[in-house]
């Protein structure tokens, strides 16, 4: 890790620490101002999995009773949902899939009774609907990572809305659920994006930079070192090196007493409007 990255990580951890005190009370801890995220913290390339035909989305009927994606089965203690105000919780998040390695990742997570959050790209959901169903069936949370992974700050508001809506439709069509959370590609957001999305925008507190360093040992080391109670760790399950790193992360953090929960569980079902940001955004 170079010193620049170290400094960023250190400052973000401070933000998490400051934020942790407030994040359990719904309505508090909401971040009011948001600026462009440093683009170095997210992959520069769009998703690697093949895209399906990109014609206009077929309008679909809204499900009459859409299951709340945030309330799926989660880590339990003695049959009760884990309370992250008391337990040591960490949220592992996987972006840009589903992809060819997501099935393997699901097996790793199941082996450790871990739950995670998948911020999926709509066109990859359309290409692999059964993988998306497998994610949901295992009790993981599914978040919206737009239809085709553009930088939303470069789009007009109507196009931002269309990107989010089209991903929603793909997820509903595949698994019958509606994502409660959105993660903007590259962490890029501004006031237009926030006004267009009107859902919690989930960033992260630990960036493994797994898209840059395709090295399982390094990915595992950064994740394990960066974990704190309440941390949101960013991975990309489209990289085999990342998926190979996960058993080590799960083993090490389990030994440290962590419970692996979805982002919604981490916030007790009440995530603030913006979850985690770089210090300059606060
Ligand atoms: Ni992404």
State the pTM of this model: 0.76
Is 95 assigned a catalytic role?
Answer: yes
pLDDT for res 274: 83
Is 236 assigned a catalytic role?
Answer: yes
Tell me the C-alpha distance between 174 and 133, whole Å.
6
Q: What is the dihedral of CA 93, 98, 99, 101, to 10 degrees?
A: 50
pLDDT for res 78: 52
Sequence-distant (6+) residues with CB within 8 A of 227 are 90, 206, 233, 253, 256, 258
- Out of 23, 108, 236, 239, which one is annotated catalytic? 236
Ion ligand 1 neighbours (CB, 5 A) are 95-96, 185
Tell me the C-alpha distance between 270 and 140, whole Å.
17
Q: What's the CA-to-centroid distance between 75 and ligand 1, angstroms? A: 26
Tell me how far CA of residue 43 lies from CA of 63, 66, 186, in angstroms: 34, 32, 7
Radius of gyration, CA atoms only, the chain: 17
- Out of 95, 151, 207, 210, which one is annotated catalytic? 95
Q: What's the CA-to-centroid distance between 264 and ligand 1, angstroms? A: 19
pLDDT for res 212: 94
User: What residue ranges of the chain have pLDDT lower than 50?
Assistant: 1-42, 44-73, 77, 278-282
3-state helix, strand, coil in the chain (%, to 5): 40, 15, 45
Q: What is the pLDDT of residues 110-145, one digit of tens each?
A: 999 999 999 999 999 999 999 999 999 999 999 999
SS3 49: coil
pLDDT for res 79: 58
Q: What's the CA-to-centroid distance between 269 and ligand 1, angstroms? A: 23
pLDDT for res 27: 31
pLDDT for res 273: 80
pLDDT for res 272: 83
């Amino acid at each position: 890790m170079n010193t620049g990255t170290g400094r960023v990580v250190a400052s973000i951890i401070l933000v998490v620490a400051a934020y942790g005190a407030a994040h359990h009370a719904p309505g508090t801890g909401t971040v009011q101002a948001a600026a462009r995220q440093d683009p170095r913290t997210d992959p520069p390339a769009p998703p690697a999995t093949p895209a399906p035909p990109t014609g206009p989305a077929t309008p679909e009927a809204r499900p009459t009773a859409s299951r709340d994606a945030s309330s799926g089965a989660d880590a339990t203690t003695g049959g009760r949902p884990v309370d992250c105000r008391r337990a040591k919780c960490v949220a592992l998040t996987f972006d840009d899939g589903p992809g060819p390695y997501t099935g393997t990742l699901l097996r790793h997570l199941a082996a450790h009774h871990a739950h995670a959050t998948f911020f999926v790209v709509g066109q990859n959901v359309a290409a692999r609907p059964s993988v998306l169903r497998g994610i949901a069936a295992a009790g993981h949370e599914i978040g919206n990572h737009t239809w085709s992974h553009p930088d939303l700050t470069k789009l007009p508001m109507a196009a931002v809305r269309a990107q989010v809506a089209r991903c929603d439709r793909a997820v509903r069509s595949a698994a019958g659920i509606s994502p409660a959370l959105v993660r903007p590609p590259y962490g890029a957001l501004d006031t237009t994006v926030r006004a267009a999305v009107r859902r919690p925008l989930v960033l992260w507190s630990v960036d493994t930079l797994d898209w840059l360093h395709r090295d399982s040992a390094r990915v595992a080391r950064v994740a394990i070192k960066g974990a704190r109670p309440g941390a949101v760790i960013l991975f990309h399950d489209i990289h085999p090196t990342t998926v190979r790193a996960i058993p080590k992360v799960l083993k090490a953090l389990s030994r440290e007493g962590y419970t692996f929960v979805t982002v919604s569980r981490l916030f007790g079902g009440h995530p603030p409007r913006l979850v985690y940001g770089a210090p300059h955004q606060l």
